[in-house]
A and B are shown apart, each in its own frame.
Chain A
């Protein structure tokens, strides 16, 4: 779907057509979920972020000025909510005096066993990368965005992103080789 269609959907929604919002949700929900999931490593947190992003979208679409693509704007919101949740969890872990929260896999939405196992390994590996490296790795490797797009989303310089991506690749490669 082109950017023009995004614009049309946003305008329709702002003119009171609620169905246009549902179309936007349908279009972006998977992207939001999988970005959050790879960043956070479990369904329950990814679900929380996905819902929050979509609510923010509903409430703030009237402030979107089309200065960037809608997709970039949505990634920006998702990235910021994801990083905030990671920070919040670190603070919470500290406040709970080192109690570690293991999210239950019972409410997961993955229903093919082979890939569930692979995903678990991947999530474990991603968790070993610092969030700053993880964000650029996920955005470039999985979402296939350019450094310029990632710079727009994260607000970081392209040079910094390249260095972070290099370190992330190094660690991931190491982890793959050790598997």
Chain B
């Protein structure tokens, strides 16, 4: 009984009258005071901050810079590939209208394709599973869930789609937006999977 009141007081859940009454009792009732102190001290003891390896915090800004620069590089590659692909497409449609020689056109396309492949290779070697995870279909996954499929069927679906790449690894590399995560989480809760 006392504990409930003490916790209400500490949570600021009492109205003004209850609060004044509790504070008055606290100054006169020794048992209540002892119980209050015990709870408060127990909670305060949780407020310790352990000593940590200082190198972790010292290196953090450097690690952040490295990640930011990797991210920028990846973004640059993506933009470059998209621009190159777009240019190839434009050349393909424009050049014949300008009566360019067909062999010249083929050569241009070949050069661009070659460069794009090179860049693609570099992207894959830099980004591991990121690109694979981008192909993951959340809607298909969720629609499977709502059909009350068994865990084995979910596994089978993931195996078919991702040729044995563990599901948790896919999800780890999946670039899902916060809203989508919330949607999946709520969906799984609704279906009582979580």
Contact = CB atoms under 8 A, between A and B. Distances in A.
How many chain B residues sit at the interface, stated as a range, is 35 or more
Interface of A: 21-22, 25-26, 29-30, 33-34, 47, 50-51, 54-55, 58-59, 80, 84, 87-88, 90-92, 94-99, 101, 109-112, 115-116, 118-119, 122, 141-142, 147, 162-163, 165-166, 169-170, 172-173, 176-177
Interface in B165-186: 166-168, 171-172, 176, 178, 181-182, 184-185
B60 A91 contact: no
B49 interface: yes
A96 B171 CA distance: 10
A88 B63 contact: no
Interface in B7-47: 7-8, 10-13, 39, 42-43, 46-47
B155 interface: yes
B95 interface: no
B140 interface: no
A95 B172 CA distance: 11
B52 A111 contact: yes
A95 B154 contact: yes
Interface of B: 3, 7-8, 10-13, 39, 42-43, 46-53, 56-57, 60-61, 63-64, 67-68, 71, 151, 154-155, 158, 166-168, 171-172, 176, 178, 181-182, 184-185, 188, 193-194
